[in-house]
């Protein structure tokens, strides 16, 4: 591999052969300048020759981040749910392109990652900033796969994903809230009770169908057991509006055991829907849903937030989000010393680690109980034996 350095004015540059053009057969060269000393130019030349010999050299291209990020999204969006796809699109257009879009992909360096983090943290919540950075890394990794760049310049660019404090109720708060809701908002009472007693997500509850509630007689216990089969969810996007979709992941498709209390709530709502179906006749939109509008129309997930807040104010319990009913369910189960694997299965988590990481505050309390039990057993056992002299 041939190359040389030379001085141009007050600066030094190097030129090296990078092979032949596959079409014309002519020799191709790379020239780069701006070095203060001959030694710096020679070091850069030797590095380029090393990359060429090892097959690591990537010929400079003019593609800019704006076009590359857009092309990546157009190909990648088919792997995403519609709701997630819209979030990716918004983050790319609103943050990644404005910050990095004018740079050539090959010119992006680690320093640009730090610059990006600084701006994101100035204008966004840490959690959102973390998501924007994660998408950026995915785009640059794709550039590596296409051999546009040798390595991802943002590999070591990190932004700690802050853990949001989990707000939950105790059993007293929960029961008081449900008691007040049942009196003033009977319809929402059913939804809120199912959320708190099963840990289902908002969209999963609204996506429950009549056929998803199953009862089976267990000969061994001589009892009828009830369960919910979670297989679809109500989603909402700008493109599609409100619609029924499959659950997010394979782990989200699950069977969740319910007791007679929740079964009765669901069964009574199904009976009410059947009556409404007869009342509305052909105007009833039968989507086989349990929790829907009186005419069968799919319920908008965001419509649950206002009545939920209203019932919190009326009952006087501590403020939490609707999604925190899910957290409440998991936290109370763990505080009852329920096996974390069972909790993970009910929530639809793909691993127990996700459950324990999310509810680390509860696991610490559980550890205290275990620590006390261990210490008691250890000291109790040691009393019965004599020390050998």
Do 40 and 108 sit in the same domain of this protein? Answer: no
The DSSP code for 250 is G
Do 34 and 75 sit in the same domain of this protein? Answer: no
Using an 8 Å Cβ cutoff, are 117 and 133 in contact?
yes
Q: Which of 152, 104, 157 is nearest to 129 (CA)?
A: 157
Among 321, 343, 358, the domain boundary falls at: 321
* Enclosing domain of residue 237: 171-321
Residues 6+ apart with CB under 8 A from 41: 5, 12, 13, 14, 33, 35
d(CA 327, CA 168): 6
Distances in whole angstroms, Cα of residue 67 to Cα of each of 39, 72, 158? 37, 9, 24
Do 274 and 182 sit in the same domain of this protein? Answer: yes
* CATH number, residue 247: 1.10.443.10
Residues 6+ apart with CB under 8 A from 364: none
Residue 35 token pair: 């070095």
Residues 6+ apart with CB under 8 A from 131: 87, 91
* CATH number, residue 78: 1.10.150.130
Based on the structure, what is the number of domains in the chain? Answer: 3
* Sign of the alpha-carbon dihedral angle for 335, 340, 343, 347: positive
d(CA 51, CA 296): 65
Using an 8 Å Cβ cutoff, are 225 and 243 in contact?
no
d(CA 144, CA 354): 30
Among 31, 54, 77, the domain boundary falls at: 54
Using an 8 Å Cβ cutoff, are 201 and 230 in contact?
no
Q: How confident is the prediction along the chain (389 residues), in pLDDT tens digits per residue? A: 578 888 888 898 888 877 665 556 677 777 888 888 989 988 888 887 877 766 655 556 678 999 999 999 998 888 887 888 889 999 999 999 999 999 999 899 999 999 999 999 899 888 889 999 999 999 999 988 887 888 899 998 888 766 666 789 999 999 999 999 999 999 999 999 999 999 999 999 999 999 999 999 888 888 899 999 999 999 888 888 899 988 878 888 999 999 999 999 999 999 999 999 999 999 999 999 999 999 999 999 999 999 999 999 999 999 999 999 999 999 999 888 888 899 999 999 988 888 888 877 665 566 666 667 766 777 676 555 555 55
User: How big is the chain, counted in residues?
Assistant: 389
H or E element: which one contains 258? Answer: strand 254-258
Tell whether pTM > 0.75. Answer: no
Do 184 and 301 sit in the same domain of this protein? Answer: yes
Residue 154 lies in a domain: no
Do 181 and 309 sit in the same domain of this protein? Answer: yes
């Amino acid at each position: 591999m041939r190359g040389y350095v030379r001085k141009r004015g007050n600066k030094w540059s190097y030129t090296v052969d990078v092979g032949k053009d596959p079409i014309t057969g002519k020799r191709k060269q790379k020239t780069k300048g701006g070095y203060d000393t001959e030694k710096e130019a020679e070091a850069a030349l030797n590095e380029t020759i090393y990359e060429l010999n090892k097959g690591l050299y990537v010929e400079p291209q003019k593609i800019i981040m704006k076009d590359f990020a857009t092309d990546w999204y157009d190909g990648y969006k088919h792997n995403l749910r519609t709701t997630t796809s819209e979030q990716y699109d918004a983050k790319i257009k609103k943050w990644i392109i404005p910050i990095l879009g004018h740079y050539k992909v090959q010119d992006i360096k680690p320093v640009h990652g730090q610059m990006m983090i600084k701006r994101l943290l100035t204008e966004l919540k840490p959690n959102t900033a973390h998501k924007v950075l994660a998408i950026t890394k995915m785009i640059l990794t794709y550039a590596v796969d296409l051999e546009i760049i040798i390595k991802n310049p943002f590999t070591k660019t990190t932004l700690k994903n802050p853990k949001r404090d989990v707000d939950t109720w105790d059993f007293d708060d929960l029961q008081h809230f449900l008691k007040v809701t049942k009196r003033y908002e009977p319809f929402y009472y059913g939804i809120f009770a199912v959320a708190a007693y099963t840990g289902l997500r908002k969209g999963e509850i609204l996506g429950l169908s009549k056929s998803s509630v199953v009862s089976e007689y267990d000969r061994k216990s001589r009892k009828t057991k009830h369960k919910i089969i979670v297989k679809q969810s109500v989603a909402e996007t700008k493109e599609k509006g409100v619609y029924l979709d499959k659950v997010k992941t394979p782990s989200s498709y699950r069977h969740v055991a319910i007791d007679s209390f929740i079964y009765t709530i669901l069964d009574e709502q199904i009976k009410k829907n059947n009556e409404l179906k007869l009342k509305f006749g052909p105007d009833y939109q039968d989507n086989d849903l349990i929790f829907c509008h009186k005419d069968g129309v799919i319920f908008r997930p965001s419509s649950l937030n206002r009545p939920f807040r209203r019932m919190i104010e009326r009952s006087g319990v501590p403020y939490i989000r609707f999604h925190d009913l899910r957290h409440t369910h998991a936290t109370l189960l763990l505080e009852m010393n329920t096996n974390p694997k069972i909790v993970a299965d009910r929530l639809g988590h793909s691993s127990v680690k996700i459950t324990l990481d999310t509810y680390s505050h509860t696991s610490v309390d559980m550890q205290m109980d275990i620590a006390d039990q261990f210490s008691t057993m250890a000291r109790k056992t040691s009393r019965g034996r004599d020390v050998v002299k």
